[in-house]
Every structure is written in structure tokens, then in C-alpha cells.
Amino acid sequence: MVAGEQQAIFAVFSDPDGDAGGVEVIRTLSMAGFGCIEVGSASDLIRSKPANGWAGTIVAIAEDDAKAATAWGFCRDSRKLDEPVMNTLVLISGSNLPELAERHEQFDDFIIAPFHPSEFEARLGHMLWRSGQAPGPETVEIGPLALNLETYQATLANKPLDLTYMEYELLKFLALSPSKVFSREVLLNRVWGYEYYGGARTVDVHVRRLRAKFGEEHAHLIQTVRSVGYKLDQTR
Amino acid sequence: MDPQYDYVLKAVEERRVRLIRLWFTDVLGQLKSVAISPAELDSAFEEGVHFDGSAIDGFSRVQESDVIAKPDPTTFELMPWADGGSTARMFCDIFNHDGTPFTGDPRHILRRNLASAAKEGYGLFTAPEMEFFYFADGNPNHPPELLDSGSFFDLTTSDVASDLRRRTITVLETMGIPVEYSFHEDSPSQHEIDLRYTDALTMADQIMTFRLVVRELAMEQNRYASFMPKPIAGIQGSGMHLHLSLFDENGNAFHDPDKQYGLSDVGRAFTAGLLRHAHEITAVTNQLVNSYKRLVNGFEAPVWISWAQQNRSALVRVPVTKMDKPSSTRIELRSPDPSCNPYLAFSVIVAAGMKGIREGYELPAELRQNLAELSPADAAKLGVTSLPASLSDALDAMERSELVHEALGEHTFEWFLRNKRAEWTDYKAHVSPWELQRYLPSW
């Protein structure tokens, strides 16, 4: 196909019967000359994919907790597809801003609802420019540990570290917020992302497995914070 | 494509893996393997690998014997000791051609039993104490020759066995199988490695890996490692004590600080289920003729169906746990031995325990006395019965068991009984050196 000046098309995820701001998003996108398709799940991203691909996604986070969780689930899933959809702009109310703190890997920019159309347009423009320019971080390094986010390779003291997918995902999650303590429940919810029998115990099992693979010398990289949870930290 | 598949494909490329072993287990608990090259991996994930199952124990069926092995990407691990680290393995689930799970696949049988417990909100966690012998001669067809004369907790740092054990632990940990403790066991040449708890399906996979790693590393040194339950008469045999607990969404369902030994009503009912169905499940947890030579008085193996907190002759023990660690409340089932098929053993164990919970079984009274000296008359007075005395007795109890029939499913239940009856018939016709020694001079 000949690449030409094609209309950039965004996927819009919003609460269909709510007031999260989906209607304003669609109006603003079309005023700004962008195309948009409403989606209800990450699999819709595959089904309704435009010929020239998605320019990005706009996700309206509802006030309601359960609906907000679904929206965040969509953000996470859309980045785990075979062809991940990046450029996620999150529309969020001022009172929900704290939710952003632990989810930096799930969106690229945010805007507070209700929003001003020209700010919305400016943010979209900047997000598109940035994605065309600089790629995201390719490697994360914490002390002797290095993760290549492109190839999934992990090394410890320059030696390859062979991890299973879930071990890798857990380690990546901890490594993206070094020194920050996460509870077992948060880790389960954010890394596994679904109800898992055995619950928080699963997190303990994976942490112990990671420590076994680190070996005695580096096992302390993942620290247990008593009655709170775990953190990745290179200080002893 | 599932990101898990993509992850494995990338790892194979990055780590220059040359061979991928697809593992599965037959009904008797023997590890089977099909090797594929990295180029075939994509289609193995999408369509599976077809093979003729008729040569594999418990896989054969009258009409169709073609089955499909589908690798489970969550189990992808490099095998650090094999072929300079360029080989990896994955466990497989086995399917029929119409896409339905193959009912003779032990991994599927365990999945099914765990799913039924999960439906009621419980996940089973297990931690085994693996006992085994190292023999000096690498050829198992020669009589077993002890490698050392150490005993319990002996610090025999210089000997071959300790080096072997240390190297084994390093390999296990590199493969994501954390080790809790390891030590020299009671008998000469006997060793124990305790694995750290994990969910039952993963643990069954880990036990299969464990047995292979222990044996292959011993073979590298021209030694022989054996999980035979009682390789040498007169000294302790090898058991596989199992620590068991159920977790629900609130944490450890076996823990209740207000109850005796911190064991909750759920834990008590699960234990009651194990005790009441102990006769029926023993053929699966102790599947060899030889298994019953371990289950005799005087060698710290259980004989009587009882429970206690501290009693080492009890079938089920409730280990003392630290008060501030509710997650470690558990029970210890002491009958299984390391020759069992772990998938099938966990299946009948979770089925028996869950039946106790579902039907609210009452736990009988604790028996604290040393049961090794119990006479049959005393036992009758206490209302205690013993575990099956032979494989034949155990098969009789299994054959009458609806619980085991349901847990294993028709196909595997029938096949197991048929196969094990044949093993017993074979054994019964055998004339042993013991008989010759004892009878030939007098008769």
C-alpha cells in the first residue's frame, strides 16, 4: 500500500452509558480532523483495526471503581497485544488522579476531565510527535540487574538470567518503580491482572523463585517489607 | 498471538536454544519427551505436536491412538546441565484430535481436580520432602552399593554425595525450583531435599523435573540415584512426605488462631477426608509392590491411619508453626513415596480432602502414643485401622472406591487397576532369595 496522507484514527474506550466524557472526546477528535472508532475491549482493537493501524487510544476512566478497573484493564491489555497499541491518552477526573501514580507503564499522557478542547488537541499532537521521535526506554538497569524491554532479556551481573514470562513480568513491574514497596494484592492485580486461586500466595511463590534464580549473592535485590509487601532495591 | 508464546519464541532466539524437549508423563509417572527444533516451535504452539500414543503406558486406546501434545509456555525453562545449556523444556497438555483433553493425561487429570476445588474457592499448595539414595555403581542392574556411611544431619563435606547434592540444588534453583532444606538422611547413602511450597500443578511438574535432575546429575558422575521406596531391607526407605494447605481469597484456609494447633475447621475436615479415604487412595500414592515394604513398623513410616501433632508414627501430622506466620499452618501427609505419579497422587489427595470439607467430616481423636508398638487388639480397641499391607490390598480398596474412580476418570482408573493387578500377579509368582534361604534347608 502506498503510504500517503492518511487520516490518523484513534480508538476510543469509554463507559457507554456513563458520563466519563466519551461524547466530548469523539466530538473533539472529529473537530481536529482525526478519525475515531469506539471500542469496548482490547480484542475490538484487533477486530476493528483500520488499514493504516491505530494512531493511539483515548481511554476515559470512569469515577465508579469497577468501571475504572475495566478501563485500566483495557489500557494494560491493549499494550500486551501481538501488535501493541501505544499512544494512550487517559481522560481522568481530578479526584482519581492518585490512580495514575502506579500505572506509568499503562499510558503515555493524561488530561483532566472535563477538558478544554484545545488542550486535548495540543496533548494529542505532542504525543504523536513524541512517538514518532524517541522510542521508550529500551533497558531498565537497577544495580547489577538489567532488563531489555524489547527482547525480554534479563541479565544479572552481565550473565543471562532465564526467567519465565510471569517471573519476567513481575520483575519488570518492580524494576520500573525501584525502591517502591508494593503489596501482594497490588502485584497480583497489576502483574497477573485476573482472579487467581491461591491469591496473594502466588506472589510469594514467584518472588521466591526469582530469588532462587538470582542466587545467594543477589537474592537480596527483592526485599520483603514486613506486613507490607515487596520492593526491588539494590541497597541492602 | 498470546504474549506468553511470543516471550518463549524470543527467549529461544536470544539464548540460542537448539533443541526444545516437550515433556509429558504417562499414567505410571514416567517422564516422556518429544524433541523439536526451534523452527517447529511456532506450529507446536498453534497446532500442537501429533504423535502415536499407543506405545505409551496408559495412552493406548482401542480405536484411536493419535494424540496431540501442546506445550505449556508458562513452563519454559532452560536445562542448564544438558548439552552446554542449549536445550530447553516445556511441559505439555495432551489432547485428542477433536480438541478435547485426553483423559489418560495425568496433567489433565490434576487440572480437572484442582479446577473442581477452585470452583469452591480453594487452591491447593504442596511442598514435598524428597528422599532418595545415591548408589556407588552407575548401573542399576548391579546390586545397590552404598556411597557413604553417614547418617542424619552428618556433615560429610568431603564426600562425593555432598558435592552431588550441592550441584543438584544449584541446578534446581537456576530452573526456578527453590529448595527449602537439604540434608543427609537417617540411612547411609540416603539424602533428602525439601522443595519450597507452590501450587499443586506446578509442584507436580517440579517433582518430575526433580527426579530427572537428581538422576542425570548422578549419572554424570557414574553414580546411580534411586527413588525406589525401599531399596535395602533393614534400613529406612525413601518417602515423600507432603506438606499440604489450601488457600482461598482470604489467605490460608487451614489457619485459625483460636483452634487447637492453629488448624481451622476447614483444615480439620480436609484431614478427616484424607484419613477416611486413606485405604482407597494408597494404591495411587504408593504404587509399587516395593512401596509396601517401606510401610512397616520400626522405620518411621506410617502404618496406622491416625493423626497427631508430633507423632512420627502417625499418617498425618500437624507441624508446629510460628505464631506470627499464619501462612505456614499446614498438615503433613506421611505415606506417599517418591515413586508415585505426582499428578495422580495430588488428584486423589485433593479429592479426598475436598470430600471431607464438602460433607463436613469430623476429625477423629488425636493419637499421641507411639503406634509402632500397637497390637492388633489395642488397635481394635482404639478403633484404628492400618494402611493396606500390600499392593494387592491397596488395589482392592481402590477398586471399590467411587472417590478414586471419579478423581482419575474411567479410562485411567481402569487402566491403572489392570496394569497394577498384572504387576501383582507377576510378583506373586516370583520366588525370592528370602524364601530359598528360609525354606530350602528345611523342606
pLDDT at B297 (0 to 100): 87
**Cα separations (Å) of A94 from A61, A97, A126, B201?**
11, 5, 22, 45
**Cα separations (Å) of B272 from A1, A180, B247, B289, B295?**
69, 44, 18, 27, 21
pLDDT band at B149 (very low <50, low <70, confident <90, very high): low
Q: Across the interface, do B14 and A162 touch by the CB < 8 Å criterion?
A: no
pLDDT band at B167 (very low <50, low <70, confident <90, very high): very high
- The pairs formed by A31-34 with CB atoms below 8 angstroms and a separation of 24 or more are A31/A117, A32/A117, A32/A120, A32/A121, A32/A124, A33/A7, A34/A7, A34/A8, A34/A9, A34/A10, A34/A124
pLDDT at A236 (0 to 100): 66
Whether the CB-CB separation of A190 and A173 falls below 8 Å is answered with yes
Domain spans in chain B, listed from the N-terminal domain onward: 3-101, 112-432
The nearest alpha carbon in chain A to B176 belongs to A209
Domains of chain A, first to last: 9-133 (3.40.50.2300), 139-232 (1.10.10.10)
The CB-side HSE value for A104 (13 A sphere, CA atoms) comes to 11
Q: With 70 as the cut, is the pLDDT of residue B1 above it?
A: no
pLDDT, one tens digit per residue, over B116-139 is 999 999 999 999 999 999 998 888
Rounded CA gap, B349 and B326, in Å? Answer: 23
Whether the CB-CB separation of A170 and A207 falls below 8 Å is answered with yes
**Cα separations (Å) of B305 from B83, B279, B320, B342?**
47, 9, 20, 21
What's the whole-number average pLDDT of chain B? 91
H or E segment at B164?
A: helix B160-174
Q: With 60 as the cut, is the pLDDT of residue B80 above it?
A: yes
- Chosen from A159, A197, A202, A226 to mutate, greatest number of chain B CBs within 10 A: A197
Least Cα separation, residue A204 to chain B (angstroms):
9
Rounded CA gap, B268 and B331, in Å? Answer: 9
pLDDT, one tens digit per residue, over B313-322 is 899 999 988 7
Q: Across the interface, do A197 and B122 touch by the CB < 8 Å criterion?
A: yes
CB contacts of A42 in chain B (<8 Å) are none
Q: Across the interface, do A165 and B74 touch by the CB < 8 Å criterion?
A: yes
Q: Pairing mode, if any, of strands B331-333 and B316-317? A: antiparallel
Same fold, B3-101 and B112-432: no
The strand pairing partners of B78, in sequence order, are: B88
The nearest alpha carbon in chain B to A210 belongs to B176
More confidently predicted of B35 and A4:
B35
Which DSSP state fits A7?
P
pLDDT band at B397 (very low <50, low <70, confident <90, very high): very high
Percent of the residues in chain B that have a pLDDT greater than 90, as a whole number = 72
Average pLDDT over residues B103-117: 96
* CATH fold group of domain B3-101: Ubiquitin-like (UB roll) (3.10.20)
Average pLDDT over residues A136-154: 86
Rounded CA gap, B433 and B161, in Å? Answer: 30
pLDDT at A3 (0 to 100): 35
**Cα separations (Å) of B177 from B198, B227, B354?**
10, 19, 27
Rounded CA gap, B333 and B264, in Å? Answer: 17
Residue whose entry in the numeric block shows the C-alpha cell 494447633:
B261
The nearest alpha carbon in chain A to B116 belongs to A197
pLDDT, one tens digit per residue, over A30-55 is 888 888 899 988 889 988 888 878 88
Q: With 60 as the cut, is the pLDDT of residue A134 above it?
A: no
ipTM score: 0.84
**Which of A120-124, B121-125, B198-202, B438-442 has the least mean pLDDT?**
A120-124
pLDDT at B428 (0 to 100): 96
Pick the CATH number of B112-432 from 3.30.590.10, 3.40.640.10, 2.50.20.10, 3.50.50.60: 3.30.590.10
A56-60 β-sheet, strand order: A35-39, A9-13, A56-60, A88-93, A109-113
pLDDT at B157 (0 to 100): 43
C-alpha cell at B196: 519450597
Q: With 50 as the cut, is the pLDDT of residue B290 above it?
A: yes
Rounded CA gap, B171 and A213, in Å? Answer: 10
CB contacts of B76 in chain A (<8 Å) are 164-165
More confidently predicted of B313 and A60:
A60
Q: With 70 as the cut, is the pLDDT of residue A6 above it?
A: no
Contacts of A86 (CB under 8 A, 6+ apart): A56, A79, A108, A131
Amino acid in position A68? A
The nearest alpha carbon in chain A to B247 belongs to A198
Helix axes B160-174, A201-214, angle to 10 degrees: 120
Percent of the residues in chain A that have a pLDDT greater than 90, as a whole number = 34
Rounded CA gap, B120 and A197, in Å? Answer: 10
pLDDT, one tens digit per residue, over B306-351 is 999 988 789 999 998 876 678 889 999 999 999 999 999 999 999 9
Q: Which of A137, A139, A142 shows the shortest CA–CA distance to A108?
A: A137
Helix axes B342-358, B200-220, angle to 10 degrees: 150
pLDDT at A196 (0 to 100): 60
pLDDT at A23 (0 to 100): 81
Q: Which of B46, B52, B108 shows the shortest CA–CA distance to B71?
A: B46
DSSP string of A111-167? EEES--HHHHHHHHHHHHHHHHH-----EEEETTEEEETTT--EEETTEEE---HHH
pLDDT, one tens digit per residue, over A175-190 is 988 889 999 988 988 8
Q: With 70 as the cut, is the pLDDT of residue A121 above it?
A: yes
Average pLDDT over residues A107-135: 83
Percent of the residues in chain B that have a pLDDT greater than 70, as a whole number = 96
Least Cα separation, residue A216 to chain B (angstroms):
10
C-alpha cell at A101: 501514580
